[in-house]
Amino acid sequence: MRTWIVAGNWKMHNTNEESVALAKAIKDGVSSLKNGEVVLAPPFTSLYRVAQIIKGSSISLAAQNMFYEDKGAFTGEISPVMLKDIGCTYVIIGHSERRKYFHEKDADVNLKVKKALALGLKPIMCVGETDEEREKNVTRAVVGRQVKEGLRGVDKIDNVVIAYEPVWAIGTGKVATPAQAQDVHAFIRAILKDIYHDAAAGIRILYGGSVTADNISELIAMEDIDGALVGGASLKTDGFLGIIKNIAGEK
Ligand code: PGA
C-alpha cells in the first residue's frame, strides 16, 4: 500500500537559528512512524543545518525549488546536484507561488521533474486550479493539463509525488472539502492510470491548502489522499506534530 507523507513547506521563513530550533522540536516529537514519512522543506539557506539535525532520524529533507541544469552560468540558481550533495531526498517543483510570482510554466516544471528524477531526487510536483478557474468549471482541464505536461516524457513514475493544492486554498484558511479534494485526487489518479497503468496505484498524491491538525483527519480519510503538503501550520511545532499524529492515526 501507499505510505503517507507529511511535508512541511517552510517557504521564505526562518533564519538558521529558527530553522534549527523548529527541526529539533519536530525531530523530538516524531518518534516511530508507522507506514509514513515526514519531510521538511526549509529555505535553501537552512538546508545544511537542518540536514545535520535530522541525520539518522526518520525525517527526510526537501528543497522548495531547483534549476533544471546540473551546473553553469545561471546566477542565483541552485542545482539538483547541490541539493543531493547537501542531503535532500525530495524537491518541491511547480508550487503555485513559483508559477504565479516567478512565471514558471508547465514546460519548466517538466524540465525540472525530469532532471530531478535523472539525478535521484524525488519531485513533489504541485498542481492546482485558481479560484477563477474553479468558478469557470475548468478545474479538471487545468489540473489535467498540469499533470500531463509536467510528466511529459517521464517513463517511470515510481519516485514522483504529486501535490494537489487548489490555489484558492493556499494560505487562505479556505480548505477544500474532503469531497472536493477526493474528486480531484481520483481524477489525477485516473490520468496516471491511463499513462502508467498499474504503477498509478502506488503513487502518493498529497493534498495542500490550509491544512491544520483540525481539518486533516477528514481529508486523510479519503481513499486517494495520501498525505499533506503543509505551509503555515508547518511553522509551529504543535500544529505540525498534530497533523502528523492525526494522519498516522488514520492511515
Ligand atoms: P498553506 O500552504 O498550508 O499555508 O495553505 C500550503 C502550501 O503552499 O504548500
The mean pLDDT of 168-195, rounded to a whole number, is 96
Out of 97, 133, 165, 185, the active site residue is 165
Q: Which of 31-45, 124-138, 165-179, 198-212 has the lowest mean pLDDT?
A: 31-45
Asked whether the predicted pLDDT for residue 186 surpasses 80, the reply is yes
Out of 95, 97, 133, 185, the active site residue is 95
pLDDT of residue 33: 72
User: Which grid coordinates are listed for 133?
Assistant: 478557474
SS3 call for 74: coil
pLDDT of residue 88: 98
Distance separating alpha carbons of residues 227 and 250, to the nearest angstrom: 11
What is the sign of the dihedral through the CA atoms of 67, 72, 73 and 78?
A: positive
**72-99 pLDDT per residue, tens:** 999 999 999 999 999 999 999 999 999 9
Q: Is the model's pTM score more than 0.95?
A: yes
Q: Is 64 in the pocket of ligand 1 (CB under 6 A)?
A: no
pLDDT of residue 251: 73
Q: Tell me which residue of 212, 140, 216 sits closest to 178, measured CA to CA.
A: 216
Q: Tell me which residue of 173, 161, 189, 178 sits closest to 221, measured CA to CA.
A: 178
Q: Is 126 in the pocket of ligand 1 (CB under 6 A)?
A: no
Structural domain tally of the chain? Answer: 1
Query: What confidence category does residue 243 fall into, taking pLDDT thresholds of 50, 70 and 90?
Result: very high
> What percentage of the chain reaches a pLDDT higher than 90?
95
The mean pLDDT of 141-167, rounded to a whole number, is 98
Asked if 95 is an active-site residue, the reply is yes
DSSP strand pairing (205-208 vs 122-127): unpaired
Q: Where are the alpha helices (DSSP H) in 87-174?
A: 96-101, 106-118, 131-135, 139-150
Asked if 185 is an active-site residue, the reply is no
The mean pLDDT of 34-38, rounded to a whole number, is 87
Ligand 1 centre and the CA of 46: distance in Å? 19
The DSSP line for 167-199 is: GGGTTTS-PPPHHHHHHHHHHHHHHHHHHHGGG
Ligand 1 centre and the CA of 167: distance in Å? 9
What CATH number is attached to the domain comprising 33? 3.20.20.70
Query: What confidence category does residue 31 fall into, taking pLDDT thresholds of 50, 70 and 90?
Result: confident
Q: Which structural domain, as residue segments, surrounds residue 174?
A: 5-250
Q: Which amino acid is at 105?
A: K
Asked whether the predicted pLDDT for residue 105 surpasses 80, the reply is yes
Q: Is 171 in the pocket of ligand 1 (CB under 6 A)?
A: yes
Asked whether the predicted pLDDT for residue 2 surpasses 80, the reply is yes
Asked whether the predicted pLDDT for residue 203 surpasses 80, the reply is yes
pLDDT of residue 14: 98
Query: What confidence category does residue 167 fall into, taking pLDDT thresholds of 50, 70 and 90?
Result: very high
Q: What is the mean pLDDT of the chain?
A: 96
Asked whether the predicted pLDDT for residue 43 surpasses 80, the reply is yes
